[in-house]
Amino acid sequence: MIEKPDSVTNVTSLLSGDGVSRHICEDLKSFIVTTMPIPWELAKQRIGGTPEKIVFVDSMEQERVEQQLEELPEFECVVAIGGGQAIDLGKYFSWKRQARLITIPTVISVDAFVTSAAAIRINRKVEYIGNSTPNPLVIDYDLIRTAPNDLNIAGVGDLLSIHTAIYDWTLAAKNGQNQNQFHQNTADQAYKILNSIIDRAEDIRNLTNQGIDAIINGYMDVNRICLPLGHYRIEEGSEHYFFYELEERTGRAYVHGHIIGLGIYIMSHLQKNKHEMITDVMDRMGLKYQPKNMGIKLQTLIESLENLRKYVCEREDLWYTVIDKETITHEWIDYITNKLEF
């Protein structure tokens, strides 16, 4: 099925269906591929054609990426196949060379395939650079289902975060903290996205075509709201800030949707914001948000929560959230960590 979503989704065209990536490169005049070994193994027989070059992601440090860019031959089209980094590398090359971009995600754990900028590391810090849009974005359900279920399901993290993020945005407005002017209409639109994801909980757990569509459409709908607004406040709040602290503390990488799930669990409770309901949704979807799934130790989580208020106060780029409003006490930390599995 080919669709032409409106331009603000940052997807010029969308091609979705079982097996739609088959032979997709056969008629391309010249193309390069950005990928990683596992997705390339899965996709190379399907896509047809012969790439001028296959670039495997080994680092997203700008120096390395620029070096790979210099070594590229002439080409008309970049075909990015894989997860976030392979897609981001393709976006970067397409932007730098002003070439057509085709993206074929093989896992939907992160939303790199609908965002315009590429996440590139400059001195190990992630920066979002460039501007590119896929034509088409290829959603081949069979290919996506070859990735581990847990990773695909993790894709809901940045959509379920609407639940806690909108609460924070509302709270900020109520407390006169209008870094981003609150609009009820925008909040209502965001809740619609959240509800359509919740309605598909079983499909997401089972990664049916409808479940995969729900995640992809959710991401595109978030872009429809956020790109004109110029910020992602509808899906980023205290649940993300919790993760920033923990990431900085441990220096570890987490599956984004899993750690955001833990953030939603904790912050929805601090917010007294339908904690049982959203937890039930995450459980029904099979989202792996428990600390034991991520190897997070009890003591680490306690220390992280103890430091969270101080952390957000020191970071001037962060918006006002429940973390600024509610005092996180030792008793509450005891209570919340007792409910979690380590």
For Zn ion, give the closer residue by CB, 84 or 291: 84
Cα 161 from Cα 168, distance rounded (Å): 11
The answer to whether residues 132 and 234 touch, using CB atoms and an 8 Å cutoff, is no
Cα separation, 122 vs 103, whole angstroms: 24
Phi, psi of 131, rounded to the nearest 5 degrees: -160, 115
- Which of these, 54, 43, 51, 122, lies nearest to 83 by C-alpha position? 43
Q: In this chain, which stretch among 25-33, 133-141, 153-161, 325-333 interacts with Zn ion, using CB under 5 A? A: 153-161
Residues touching Zn ion: how many (CB under 5 A)?
1
Verify binding: residue 111, Zn ion, rule CB under 5 A. no
Min dist. Cβ of residue 165 to Zn ion (A):
10
221 binds Zn ion (CB under 5 A): no
Of 46 and 240, which CB lies nearer to Zn ion in the complex structure? 240
**Positive/negative CA dihedral, 34, 38, 39, 40:** positive
Q: Closer CB to Zn ion, residue 158 or residue 221?
A: 158
Nearer to Zn ion, 21 or 268 (CB): 268
Per-residue DSSP letter, 7: G
CB 243, min distance to Zn ion, A: 8
Shortest approach of Zn ion to residue 260 CB, angstroms? Answer: 6
Of the listed pieces 41-49, 152-160, 198-206, 305-313, which binds Zn ion according to CB under 5 A?
A: 152-160
Q: Where are the alpha helices (DSSP H) in the chain?
A: 37-47, 62-70, 84-97, 141-144, 149-153, 157-160, 162-174, 184-199, 201-206, 209-229, 238-250, 256-270, 275-285, 291-294, 298-314, 322-325, 330-339
Q: Which is nearer to Zn ion, 68 or 164 (CB)?
A: 164
Calpha distance 147→135 (Å, rounded):
23
Which span sits near Zn ion by CB under 5 A: 47-55, 86-94, 154-162, 322-330? 154-162
Q: Cβ closer to Zn ion: 77 or 110?
A: 110
CB of 256 to Zn ion, least distance (A): 6
Which residue is at the shortest CB distance from Zn ion?
Answer: 158
**Residue 264 near residue 163 (C-beta atoms within 8 A):** yes
H/E stretch holding 54 reads: strand 53-56
Residue span binding Zn ion (CB under 5 A) among the ranges 25-33, 75-83, 151-159, 316-324: 151-159
- Output the smallest distance, CB 329 to Zn ion, in A: 27
Binding mask 181-210 for Zn ion (x = CB under 5 A): ------------------------------
- Cα separation, 113 vs 217, in Å, equals 12
C-beta closer to Zn ion: residue 40 or 242: 242
Helices 238-250 and 162-174: crossing angle in degrees, nearest 10, is 110
Furthest CA-CA distance within the chain? 64
Q: Give the range of 124-132, 155-163, 221-229, 287-295 binding Zn ion by CB under 5 A.
A: 155-163
Smallest separation (angstroms) from Zn ion to the CB of 177? 21
Least distance CB 157 / Zn ion (angstroms): 7
* Residue 112 Cβ vs Zn ion, minimum distance, rounded to whole Å: 11
- Give the integer Cα–Cα distance in Å for 159 and 190: 9
Q: Does 158 bind Zn ion (CB under 5 A)?
A: yes
Rounded distance between C-alpha atoms, residue 62 and residue 218, angstroms: 30
Which residue, 95 or 241, has its beta carbon nearer to Zn ion?
Answer: 241
We find the least distance from the C-beta atom of residue 238 to Zn ion, in angstroms, to be 12
Residue 221 tokens read as: 């709908």
Task: Name the residue nearer to Zn ion (CB basis): 83 or 136.
Answer: 83
Q: What is the contact surface with Zn ion in residues (CB under 5 A)? A: 158
